[in-house]
Structure 1
Amino acid sequence: MLWLGTAGIGVAMLLASRADAYDRAVQNASNLTLVLERDIQRSIELYDLSLRAVAEGAADPGVMSLPPRLRQQVLFDRAATARYLGPISVLGPNGELLVRSDDAQASERTDRNSLAVPSSLTDAGLHISRPYLSASAHNTSVIALSRRVTRADGTSAGTVVGRLNIDYFRDLLDGLSLGPGGTVAVFETDGTLITRLPYDPAMIGRSLTHTSVYKQAMLGSRGAFVGTASTDGVRRLYVYRHLPGLPIVVDVAPTTDEIFADWWARTRWFAALMLVFTAIKATGIRLLVRELRRRQRAESELKRMAQHDALTGLDNRGTLDTVTASEWRRGKRNGQPLSLLFIDIDNFKAYNDYYGHQAGDETLKAVATCILASVTRPGDHVARYGGEEFVVVLPETGSASALSIAEKVRRAIHELHIEHVMSIFGFVTASIGVSTTGVPGITDVCTLVKAADDAVYKAKGLGRNKVCAAATGDPVPVPGDASRPADQPVAEACDDAHTNTATSARTVPSTPAEGAGQR
């Protein structure tokens, strides 16, 4: 999530930066088109003022009847001789040349035949022709600016034609820098290209009506869009503007590569930093995960050590207390008996003294495994009480069934045949005390454990390797123990592997078959 958050913030900033780069490019191109628009519009308006003056003079019969030199001075001012402006001609209603601002009369007919305007216009507005090669302007490319000559009665007296050299537009665009591949174009609304940057004489006068750029530029008086040029296939940002009152469009088109060059550099730096950050983050995460797993294993081990005996793997004393208390409450709530086996290995101190503590530890492990194998019900709990003592908690188990299980455990320990020369039996044996709830005097967990502990001492007093059941009062039926008849007394009982002895007690079956199913 941290990586995604960092990457998301970085990507958002890059997208915002890209949008800013686009907006700045649009703004810069718009400012440039505005400057070009005002320069072209001012130049054409100044030239148009001269055409207006000539048209007004040509409509006056008195002016036209003046001597030629004086008529020249009256009709044409100094604007007709300005740079980029060609000669001004006055044509009659039938297209004949009436007067011209210079003396080059011979080439006028050639120019008239090349004009894309009629010799006599039907409207009084300014008409701008397509670019053409003018013989009267020393064979240079020009555009003709024409106005109608209107008499006082409203009839046409001919046409005034001036010429604007294409070099004006070329020089206007020279020096502009839009980066590699950037272009500037000036074209008429009918799609005719007047000039472009970079300059290409072969393209002057070419029609752009078939291009998608031209079609897009005709959708509004001004705007910006990204498109691909049909001439070179380069993708550019086109910012265009229609000149007010003139059939001319100016567009400025820097390439998208140039616009986003700095942005791409920042993006590459960001990508490199993100790769480094990702590598560091991945390494950190790997180390963190490894440390968390190690800590988890350590905590699990600590938890296991806190709940289990380190030597035998059985539940420890603390876990035993918790389980016994829980099973006591559950038994009281459900009305079911709870039995406890207290197992003590006989003569274990003598065993340790003779065989050593390492052998004693191995014996404790073997006895613990034996007890676990003998107590197979999932709900039963086996714990190490301390030293050589073990406790088995048997939920929902009556006295008879508990005695049967105790005998099974005693017999299994004896049959391990672990040598014990200090024992009268020759092998490791155990004495087991059994206590069960429902007997008068057992009122809580402590008395239940104490009764089983007392029964162990009785078993040891009777010769060891025996099972004894605790008795604390008059015999009473054990609630929930359906396997024992109601009139069978609960007393202490002891049994060894060879003889059955009863002293104020009953004898536990000494064969595995007897009592095995009474649980």
Structure 2
Amino acid sequence: MSVSSAQPQDPVRSPRSERLLVLGSLLLVVAILSIVAFLLVRERANAELSATRAASNIVQLIDADVLRNVELYDLSLLGLIAASQREDLKNVSPAIRHLALFDRATAAPYKGDILLLDNKGDVIADSASVEPRNGNYADREYFQSHLSNRDPGMFISRPFRSRKPEHEWRISFSRRLSGAQGEFLGVAEAAMRLSYFDQLFNSLNIGRDSSVNLISSDGILLAQEPRPAEELVGKDFSNRPNFQRIVKEGNGSFTSVSSQYQDKRLYTFSKVGNLPLIVVVALSSDEVFASWKRTTVVVSVATLALCISLLWLTWLFCRELRLRHNAERELAQLAATDALTGLANRRTLDQALRHEWFRAQRSGQPLSVLMIDADHFKDFNDRYGHQAGDQALRTLASVISAHVRRPADLAARYGGEEFSVILAETDSAGARQIAEYIRKAVEQLPFIEGADSPITVSIGISTWTTATDISLESVLFAADKALYQAKENGRNRVVSSA
């Protein structure tokens, strides 16, 4: 049994406290990181929700404005058709008939001319002048659509270039004129300049990298703000995945990569009333989450600094705990060890002996005790001095320790020049064999410098067995008595108790 295993464990701090401290700190760091991550994720969702709400408000504003203006156009067309079919206006002067056909709504900004075409596409009434212009529009999409389709509803054309010198982009709103039998009589058409949408969209502050789009339900781009580098008005986007999803869902929002700009965008969209028009606001994800990203960087750096500081403080505290633990262990080692010989001291011997005594009582295994005394040590000490005496004791301790190798055995300094050995699970014969090894090894030691005779030892043995069943004090007394018997018999010998 080593000195450390024989000493009491209560005074020594266990490293378990250090492990608990590290575990607690790691759990705290994980908890902090989890909470911060949760809050950042929630803030990102809030940023997206706020952007979606803002985009929805923009979409609703555009919806209302576009729908109101289209309704004005439709009222003008309906009024034109109704007035053109009045019998009482056929014989009035051209000026009066012109006033009746075209109401004041046609003078609104961004509105082009309103025309009334016959069944061949020729102009028979023109809002721009009393005398209708010379022109035929039978090739226009709206005319061909009404010619082949009896649907009396309003038709919205694809964007087209005006035949006027400025060649500006326009779209047409038109209705079919039908006879009593449903025969095709002509078309009432009103043109709108697409610059109207440019002016409307330009008044909205949606961010530098975001866009507002007006698209027909069949995928034709009518207007976009900001203006793209290439001319995209009139381009067909019906095969784009994002447009197909917009048409499928009708109203709502989603995040996707723009096929036009190749960046991630938050799309919010809505159909304009019952019209074949769709308003799409595409907000750049970089702009939507710009503030959140700045906050994330600041919070992440602060959190990382906090966690590193916490772990650093934990390391410092663990180091202090470890140093204290080592110091206490060293103190406990010193308290259990004889300073001169390095063997266990008397206090450790008494604790180990009591521990092995109870263990022998439970197991029924024998327990032997050796009491060893240096022969004529007082005379040796007086003759050669204390330093030589101390050296002799250290040498004896080294020899004794070399022959006590089993984990459960213990060699100790009993006091002065006297030593003791505990031999667990060892009967009298085994104890005597070990005692003889020790005695002979001591006898064969080289002479101490200046001495004229070798150092020898006398050894007394006492063994407890279930047959003897004596007390622990009796075992010690018997070993001590056997030691003195060895001295009386001439020293340098081994004697076992009877």
Interval containing the TM-score (normalised by the shorter chain): 0.7 to 0.9
Distance 2:35 2:337 in 1: 50
- 1:185-207 Cα offsets, whole Å, 9 max, x none, are 11111211111101258222222
- Is the aligned partner of 1:428 residue 2:434? no
Q: Give the 3-state SS of the residue equivalent to 1:148 in structure 2.
A: strand
Q: Give the 3-state SS of the residue equivalent to 1:405 in structure 2.
A: helix
Instruction: Quote how far apart the aligned CAs of 1:17 are.
Output: 1.7
Instruction: Quote how far apart the aligned CAs of 1:228 are.
Output: 2.7
Q: Name the structure 2 match of 1:126.
A: 154
Instruction: Quote how far apart the aligned CAs of 1:378 are.
Output: 4.8
- Is the aligned partner of 1:103 residue 2:129? yes
Q: Give the 3-state SS of the residue equivalent to 2:249 in structure 1.
A: coil
Q: Name the structure 1 match of 2:391.
A: 362
The worse-fitting range, judged by mean Cα deviation, of 393-402 and 242-251 is 393-402
Alpha-carbon contact 2:120-2:138 (below 8 Å) kept? no
Q: Name the structure 1 match of 2:54.
A: 28
Aligned amino acid, residue 261 of structure 1: A
The worse-fitting range, judged by mean Cα deviation, of 445-454 and 66-75 is 66-75
Distance 2:287 2:88 in 1: 61
- Is the aligned partner of 1:160 residue 2:188? yes
The RMSD of aligned alpha carbons is 2.9
- Aligned match of 1:93 in 84, 97, 119? 119
- Aligned match of 1:197 in 221, 225, 228? 225
Q: Give the 3-state SS of the residue equivalent to 1:218 in structure 2.
A: helix
Aligned amino acid, residue 89 of structure 2: V
Alpha-carbon contact 1:434-1:468 (below 8 Å) kept? yes
Q: Name the structure 1 match of 2:65.
A: 39
Alpha-carbon contact 1:221-1:241 (below 8 Å) kept? yes
Instruction: Quote how far apart the aligned CAs of 1:43 are.
Output: 1.0
- Is the aligned partner of 1:173 residue 2:195? no
Q: Name the structure 2 match of 1:416.
A: 445
Count residues with an aligned counterpart.
469
Distance 2:466 2:258 in 1: 104
Q: Name the structure 2 match of 1:144.
A: 172
Instruction: Quote how far apart the aligned CAs of 1:238 are.
Output: 1.4
Q: Give the 3-state SS of the residue equivalent to 1:250 in structure 2.
A: strand
Q: Name the structure 2 match of 1:255.
A: 284
1:72-83 alignment, distance < 5 Å: 72-83=98-109
Q: Give the 3-state SS of the residue equivalent to 2:395 in structure 1.
A: helix
Q: Name the structure 1 match of 2:319.
A: 290
- 1:138-162 Cα offsets, whole Å, 9 max, x none, are 6432211111234556554432111
* TM-score of the superposed pair, with normalisation by structure 2: 0.85
Distance 2:467 2:177 in 1: 138
The worse-fitting range, judged by mean Cα deviation, of 307-316 and 254-263 is 307-316
- Is the aligned partner of 1:55 residue 2:81? yes
Q: Aligned in 2, Cα 1:254/1:85: closer, same or farther, shift over 3 Å? A: same
Distance 2:469 2:222 in 1: 116
Q: Give the 3-state SS of the residue equivalent to 2:261 in structure 1.
A: coil
Alpha-carbon contact 2:368-2:427 (below 8 Å) kept? yes
Aligned amino acid, residue 233 of structure 1: Q
Alpha-carbon contact 2:123-2:133 (below 8 Å) kept? no
Alpha-carbon contact 1:58-1:149 (below 8 Å) kept? no
Distance 2:367 2:342 in 1: 24
Aligned amino acid, residue 399 of structure 1: S
Alpha-carbon contact 1:309-1:384 (below 8 Å) kept? yes
Instruction: Quote how far apart the aligned CAs of 1:351 are.
Output: 3.9
- Aligned match of 2:139 in 105, 113, 117? 113
Q: Which runs of 5+ in 2 are unaligned?
A: 1-25
Alpha-carbon contact 1:115-1:144 (below 8 Å) kept? no
Alpha-carbon contact 1:107-1:136 (below 8 Å) kept? no
Alpha-carbon contact 2:121-2:143 (below 8 Å) kept? no
Instruction: Quote how far apart the aligned CAs of 1:354 are.
Output: 4.5
Alpha-carbon contact 1:441-1:447 (below 8 Å) kept? no
Q: Name the structure 2 match of 1:455.
A: 482
Q: Give the 3-state SS of the residue equivalent to 2:455 in structure 1.
A: coil
- Is the aligned partner of 1:372 residue 2:389? no
Instruction: Quote how far apart the aligned CAs of 1:317 are.
Output: 2.4
- Is the aligned partner of 1:183 residue 2:211? yes
Q: Aligned in 2, Cα 1:333/1:168: closer, same or farther, shift over 3 Å? A: closer
Alpha-carbon contact 1:227-1:237 (below 8 Å) kept? yes
Distance 1:93 1:228 in 2: 47
Distance 1:89 1:331 in 2: 122
Distance 2:399 2:381 in 1: 19
- 1:62-90 Cα offsets, whole Å, 9 max, x none, are 33343212212222211122212222222
Q: Give the 3-state SS of the residue equivalent to 2:437 in structure 1.
A: helix
Q: Give the 3-state SS of the residue equivalent to 1:88 in structure 2.
A: strand
Alpha-carbon contact 1:56-1:149 (below 8 Å) kept? no
Alpha-carbon contact 1:429-1:465 (below 8 Å) kept? yes
Q: Give the 3-state SS of the residue equivalent to 1:87 in structure 2.
A: strand
Instruction: Quote how far apart the aligned CAs of 1:115 are.
Output: 4.4
Q: Aligned in 2, Cα 1:379/1:97: closer, same or farther, shift over 3 Å? A: closer
Q: Name the structure 2 match of 1:498.
A: none
Q: Name the structure 2 match of 1:10.
A: 36
Q: Give the 3-state SS of the residue equivalent to 1:453 in structure 2.
A: helix
* TM-score of the superposed pair, with normalisation by structure 1: 0.82
Instruction: Quote how far apart the aligned CAs of 1:173 are.
Output: 0.7
Aligned amino acid, residue 54 of structure 2: N
- Is the aligned partner of 1:209 residue 2:238? yes
- Aligned match of 1:242 in 271, 276, 301? 271
Alpha-carbon contact 1:59-1:157 (below 8 Å) kept? no
Q: Name the structure 2 match of 1:437.
A: 464
More helix by percentage: 2
- Is the aligned partner of 1:464 residue 2:494? no
Q: Name the structure 2 match of 1:346.
A: 375
Alpha-carbon contact 1:111-1:134 (below 8 Å) kept? no
Q: Aligned in 2, Cα 1:332/1:274: closer, same or farther, shift over 3 Å? A: closer
Q: Aligned in 2, Cα 1:199/1:434: closer, same or farther, shift over 3 Å? A: closer
| Identical aligned residues as a percent | 36
Distance 1:95 1:270 in 2: 68
Distance 1:142 1:377 in 2: 106
Distance 1:175 1:352 in 2: 112
Aligned amino acid, residue 135 of structure 1: R
Aligned amino acid, residue 389 of structure 1: E
Question: Rg bigger for which structure?
Answer: 1
Q: Aligned in 2, Cα 1:282/1:108: closer, same or farther, shift over 3 Å? A: farther
Q: Name the structure 1 match of 2:419.
A: 390
Alpha-carbon contact 2:174-2:190 (below 8 Å) kept? yes
Distance 2:428 2:260 in 1: 105
